[in-house]
Amino acid sequence: MFIPAIEKQNRETIIKFQEDLLQKNLEHLNSCSKFYKELFEKHSIDIKKVKILEDLQYIPFTTKEDIFQLMTTIDRRINTQT
């Protein structure tokens, strides 16, 4: 069975790895997702200040209703273009 190398590391190394990925993912979401960019702006979240795993508490959960609203908006846009 394959075990990724990171899973064999000590706790500090794993946390550093996760926090690096967190920053990369937040930057990607902010630059590539209108939904998340607007969410961050609406809640005055500076993604550059979200540096450690505990900072995730400042980012609101994405709910089923959020996704439904997003999909409804996308559907309306598509239907008005045709």
Buried b (16+ CB within 10 A) or exposed e, 26-45: beebbeeeeebeebbeeeeb
pLDDT exceeds 80 at position 40: yes
* Residue 82, pLDDT score: 62
In the block, tokens 């550059």 appear at: 48
Q: What residue ranges do the domains of the chain occupy?
A: 7-81
Least confident of 12-16, 50-54, 65-69: 65-69
**pLDDT tens-digit map of 20-32:** 999 999 999 999 9
Instruction: State phi, psi for 59 to the nearest 5 degrees.
Output: -100, 125
Q: What's the mean per-residue pLDDT of the chain?
A: 92
Q: How far apart are CA 68 and CA 26, in angstroms?
A: 22
For residues 67-77, give the mean pLDDT.
87
Q: How far apart are CA 19 and CA 53, in angstroms?
A: 6
Residue 41 in tokens: 């702006």
* Residue 74, pLDDT score: 85
**Whole-model pTM?**
0.77
